[in-house]
Amino acid sequence: MNKRLLRRLDFRLIAVVACIVIISIVIIGSATHINTPSDERYWYVQRQGISAILNVALALFLMNFDYKMLQGYGNRLYIFNIIMLLAVMLFGHAALGAQRWIAIGPLTIQPSEFSKLIMIIALAAMLEERVGKINTLQDLLPIAAYVGLPFLLVLKQPDLGTSLVFMAIFFGMIFVCGIKLRLLAGIFAFGAAMLPVLWQFLKDYQKMRIMVFIDPNVDPLGSGYHIIQSKIAIGSGMLFGKGLFGGTQSQLNFLPENHTDFIFAVVGEELGFVGGAALLLLYLVVLWRGVQIAKDASDVFGRLLAVGITSMLAFHVLVNVGMTMGIMPVTGIPLPLMSYGVSSLTTNILAITILLNIHMRKTKLVF
């Protein structure tokens, strides 16, 4: 790689992301009882650690390519994405009531994770020419249809969480594309009016999740259990936490999914408000850098990419952390860079890599 390009790496972003990944591996260790003797105690930490290293290698490799070439692959990626999502529907295997995984050799991957990133690239490529030209419903419809197809496929899995991420990406990107605010307001008004209709389409367990979000005690041992135990875990961490490996809620298994979706509750319980707030501030730096990189991008495609990625990450952080603290419904979307999961980690590292790439090529290089 060009030495001058290397000098333009966003070291702040790299440092912050590295911090989050290291914290993630430590907390996954705590959540999976690494301090209790057992044959398999390193399993999760090993997997997450190895994928982190492999991802860094992949990122270094990808930095050699200019992100601008992605623009030409937009439609092909889009079609690949549709095929992949269809494959999940046809060949995927179910877990926890949803069909989200497909097996490729020894790996089980979760295509909906990658499809978020693919959507960002495809949408950025599509929107590049439409900046400032989304003024009427007719202007918007093709874009909506473009996003709508994969959206529905993911919704069908069912993966409400990821489909909502699609919405967040979609709105974030068309917002920066200069969609007429009146049109945007109209869509929101229409969406709000459609909520009761959408409710009919929700599965029973999804309805229950919304209901326990409003009041976890309607089903304290069932759907409300996660929220209640998670709030207890975080709240009982108090200011300084119970210490690493010291969280009773997490260590004694009162907190379910503590290494995946509810990992923030482990941080809150063991490291307290101080630790939790510090982690959130690290996320703020990532997101803030995302916005800055969008601003400084050398072209529209790069800016839209950065906006899409930032929207995705922000929505994930908001919904996941909000869920663990009872201010967002349980939708099963992971905390980026923190939750255990190879697909999720890879997607997010790739997203960060794209941000770094945009930043590195932000202005014409002067030799």
Partner 1 sequence: MVEIDEYSGRLKALGYIVVFVVAILIARAGYLQVYDGEYYAHLADGNRIRIIPSMAPRGTFFDRNGQLLVENRPGFTVSLLPLSAKIPDDVVTRVAELLKVPKEDIEKKIAAHIGFDPIRVKQDVTEDIVTIIEEQKEKYPGVVIEVQPIRNYLLMEEGAHTFGYVSEISEDELERRKGEGYRSGDIIGKFGLEKIYDSELRGENGGEQVEVDVAGKPVQRLGLKPPVPGNDLVLTIDKNLQEATERAVDDQLKLINAHGAAAVVMNPQTGEVLALVSRPAFNPNLFAHGISTKDWNAINNNPYHPMDNKAITGEYAPGSTFKIVTGTAALTEGVISPTDKIFDAGYHWIIPKSNAAGEALGWIDFTEAMAHSDNVYFYEMGNRLGIDRLEKYARMFGLGEITGIDLPYESDGLVANRKYKWKVFEDDWYLSETFDAAIGQGFNLVTPLQAAMVMGEIAANGKRYKPHLVNRIVSPEGKTIKEFQPELLSELQVPANVIQLVQNGLHEVTKVGTAAGVFAGFPLDIAGKTGTAENSQGRDHGWFVAYGPFNNPTVVVAVVVEQGGYGSQSAVPIGRKILEAAFHVTY
Q: Measured on CA atoms in the order 279, 280, 283, 288, is the torsion positive or negative?
A: negative
Check residue 221 for interaction with partner 1 (CB under 8 A): yes
Segment 177 to 206, residues that bind partner 1, using CB under 8 A: 177-178
Specify the residue, 58 or 187, whose C-beta has the smaller distance to partner 1: 187
Whichever of 56 and 184 has its CB closer to partner 1, that residue is 184
* Amino acid, res. 42: Y
Pick between residue 229 and residue 357 the one whose CB is nearest to partner 1: 229
With H, G, I as helix, E, B as strand and everything else as coil, classify residue 109: strand
Interface stretch with partner 1, choices 7-15, 77-85, 138-146, 306-314 (CB under 8 A): 306-314
| Contact call for residue 175 and partner 1 (CB under 8 A) | yes
Give the whole-angstrom CA distance, residue 166 versus residue 146: 11
Contacts of 101 (CB under 8 A, 6+ apart): 88, 92, 93, 95, 108, 109, 110
| Three-class secondary structure of residue 129 per DSSP | coil
In this chain, which stretch among 17-25, 49-57, 141-149, 172-180 interacts with partner 1, using CB under 8 A? 172-180
Per rule CB under 8 A, is residue 26 in the interface with partner 1? no
Q: Select from 228, 232, 236, 192 the least CA-distant residue to 212.
A: 228
Identified binder of partner 1 from the candidate list 172, 224, 308, 334, rule CB under 8 A: 172
How many residues line the site for partner 1 (CB under 8 A)?
53
Check if the beta carbon of residue 277 is closer than 8 Å to that of residue 239.
no
CA distances from 93 to 303, 322, 344, 365 (A): 37, 29, 18, 48
Name the packing angle between helices 160-176 and 137-156 (round to 10°): 160
Rank residues 29 and 272 by Cβ distance to partner 1 and give the closer one. 272
> Which residue do the tokens 């990625």 mark?
309
Provide the mask over 121-150, with x wherever binding to partner 1 is found by CB under 8 A and - wherever it is not. Answer: ----------xx------------------
Q: Which is nearer to partner 1, 80 or 288 (CB)?
A: 288
Q: Is residue 327 a contact residue for partner 1 (CB under 8 A)?
A: yes
Which letter, b or e, does each residue of 149-187 get, where b requires 16 or more Cβ atoms within 10 Å of its Cβ? ebbebbbebbbbbbbbbbebbbbbbbebbebeeebeeeb
Would you count residue 48 as binding partner 1 (CB under 8 A)? no
Nearer to partner 1 by Cβ, of 111 and 290: the residue is 290
| From 227, 234, 312, 345, residue interacting with partner 1 (rule: CB under 8 A) | 234
Residue with tokens 């918007």: 140
Stretch that binds partner 1, among 38-46, 197-205, 319-327, 350-358 (CB under 8 A): 319-327
Least Å distance, CB 329 to partner 1, is: 15
Asked if 233 touches partner 1 (CB under 8 A), the answer is yes
**What is the Cα gyration radius of the chain?**
21
Among 225, 244, 245, 246, binds partner 1 (CB under 8 A): 225
If one asks whether residue 153 binds partner 1 (CB under 8 A), the answer comes out as no
**Residue 294 binds partner 1, judged by CB under 8 A:** yes
Q: Does 317 bind partner 1 (CB under 8 A)?
A: yes
Question: Is residue 321 within the footprint of partner 1 (CB under 8 A)?
Answer: yes
Beta carbons within 10 angstroms of residue 238's beta carbon: 13
Q: Are 267 and 276 in contact (CB under 8 A)?
A: yes
Q: What is d(CA 210, CA 215) in angstroms, rounded to the nearest whole number?
A: 9
Shortest Å, Cβ 288 to partner 1: 6
Of 151 and 315, the one with the shorter C-beta distance to partner 1 is 315
Cα 145 to Cα 81, 115, 129, 142, 168: the distances in Å are: 15, 16, 17, 5, 15
Q: Is 101 in the site for partner 1 (CB under 8 A)?
A: no
Question: Which residues would be at the binding site for partner 1 (CB under 8 A)?
Answer: 131-132, 172, 175-178, 221, 225, 229, 231-239, 248-249, 252-254, 268, 272-273, 276-277, 280-281, 283-284, 287-288, 290-291, 294-295, 298-300, 303, 307, 310-311, 314, 317-318, 321-322, 325, 327
